[in-house]
Amino acid sequence: MSISQTITDFVTLAIQAGGWMELDRLYLQNRVLAMIGEESLDSVSPTTVTKTSLELLDELVDRAIKNSIIQQGSVDLESFEAQLMDFLTPPPSVVNALFAQHYEKDPADATDYFYKLSKENDYIKTRAIAKNIVFSAETEYGPLEITINLSRQEKEPKQIAAAHQVTQADYPKCVLCMENEGYKGRANYPARTNHRVIRMNLDGESWGFQYSPYAYYNEHSIILSEEHRPVMISKETFRRLTRIIEVLPHYFVGSNADLPIVGGSILMHDHYQAGRHIFPMERAEIEHYFELNDFPLMNAGLVKWPMSVIRLQSPNSEDLVEAATLILEKWRNYSDESVSIRAFSEDGTPHHTITPIARRKGQLFELDLVLRDNNTSAEHPDGIFHPHPEVQHIIKENIGLFEVMGLAVLPPRLNDELQEVEKYVLGKENRIADYHKEWANQMKKDYSLKEGNAKEVIQQEVGKIFARVLADAGVYKRTEEGHKAFKRFIDSL
């Protein structure tokens, strides 16, 4: 395909996206022409476009590299690509108007529109996400989901050096601020020219809805406060979560906890994560029902899950908010030294919070409340309810919202390391890490390993370790002592 045809097709997609009209064609073609360093354009009649937006982007970038406008591996390449894809992205006012039009038909129709746009304009890095290693592992709690995250590209030495030379700036304040919309980016900050945010009003406050560039599950989205303020679990959190699933009833929504060790990686900006995905924890059943005296019409129970989960169900969202607030306030002040549960340090530092997840079940609102405790000890300096040392060769990071729900997002190092483990158990030449050897030797004892089954066995064993990690993070262990201690807390409600 000639570069003239590529430009023409690219502009056709830009017009179809809804931000431009046919009258804008010459203007757009000349803008793209200048960006990639071409001086003239052959006359090409617009036809049905047969290539994807990403294929056309690659052709435009290749020509820009050939014309020495940009260099392969340059710190500016991501920004250059985002600026090109910005032509395929209507301005924020138009995106919000189109979202509203689709929403009048059906909320799912609106998110379908926005999700498709965010993939086609390369804001959602679909090709990078496709590199992730994804599998499931059977456990006593049902199948758990495992992802080895390979989607984020490793930076080249020149890029790292350039990032260090950039003057530190506080604009945008963080990667979740609304000020990212349309931001060009810099060497040490991602390009967001093609980024759009849907505005939401949650009980009089301005919030934004966007998709995650590096999604870990279907329609992985972020709902963020317009105000740059820390994550805080409160009554208002529960109310916003139930409000969000009224607005987007086909999505779940949850929040990371608001304390270090048990919280997520971005605690400085109040936000929630949502999407159209059924996590393993949602499939887990209630194994013990109990009554809340103040809410006689509410279903309440303990979920069969390695972490300590209280599930509430009610057709009345405000009852759910009030009940969740009661449990949060009680848990924040509750201690049980017999099972190492302490609400406060001697200096008054709080250690208890909740990871909440909301979803719709027909006419019912459902809220899972996962009890969290971030105490440390001499035996467990990383956290008493954190992955313990014997499993840290696989997972040593914080157990955040995704992990709580049964999705392990594992670091890239494990892709190569597990391949070396496989070679080791098969008796091949290998470079296995020392910290995997005890685990690998145990697998050699437990299984008859060969070429046809070694990889599957290793993956299933990773899943079992993930289940142990969740059990480590559970404040009430699934033992007779743990069940009795959990019941004491429930009785206190």
Q: How far apart are CA 194 and CA 118, in angstroms?
A: 9
The half-sphere exposure of 424 on its side-chain side, counting CA atoms within 13 A, is: 21
The confidence score (pLDDT) of residue 75 equals 80
- Residue 243 located in a structural domain: no
Per the CB < 8 A criterion, the answer to whether 196 and 89 are in contact is: yes
pLDDT attached to residue 265:
77
**Is residue 48 a part of any domain in this protein?**
yes
- Report the distance separating Cα 246 and Cα 365, nearest Å: 9
pLDDT at position 160 is 40
For residue 29, being part of any structural domain is answered with yes
| Total number of domains constituting the chain | 1
* 263 compared with 153, residue with greater pLDDT: 263
The answer to whether residue 51 is domain-embedded is: yes
10 domain-assigned: yes
State residue 90 phi and psi, 5-degree precision.
-60, 155
pLDDT tens per residue, range 143-185: 999 999 998 654 444 444 444 455 567 899 999 999 999 999 9
In a domain, 355, yes or no: no
Question: What is the span of the domain harbouring residue 26?
Answer: 1-69
Q: Give the three-state DSSP class for 126.
A: helix
Distance CA 443, CA 154 (A): 32
- Write down the pLDDT at residue 431: 97
First to last CA, the chain: 69
Q: Whole-angstrom Cα distance, residue 312 to residue 234?
A: 16
- Alpha helices by DSSP H, listed for 351-412, are 401-404
**343: confidence class by pLDDT, cuts 50, 70, 90:** very high
Looking at the domain assignment, is residue 99 inside a domain? Answer: no
Q: Look at phi and psi of residue 261 and say left if phi exceeds 0, alpha if psi is from -120 to 50, else beta.
A: left
Q: What is the pLDDT of residues 76-120, one digit of tens each?
A: 999 999 999 999 999 999 999 999 999 999 999 999 999 999 999
Helical segments of 256-304, H only: 280-283
pLDDT digits (tens, 9 = 90+) for 380-393: 999 999 999 999 99
Q: What does the buried/exposed string (b/e) look like for 403-436 if buried means 16 or more CB atoms within 10 Å of the residue's CB? A: bbbbbbbbebebeebbebbbbbbeeeeeebeeeb
Tell me how far apart the alpha carbons of residues 378 and 296 are, in angstroms, rounded to a whole number.
43
Sheet with 299-303, strands from edge to edge, namely 198-202, 205-211, 221-225, 271-275, 252-254, 352-361, 364-373, 309-314, 299-303, 286-289
For residue 56, is it within any domain? yes
Is residue 103 within 8 Å of residue 430, measured between CB atoms? Answer: no
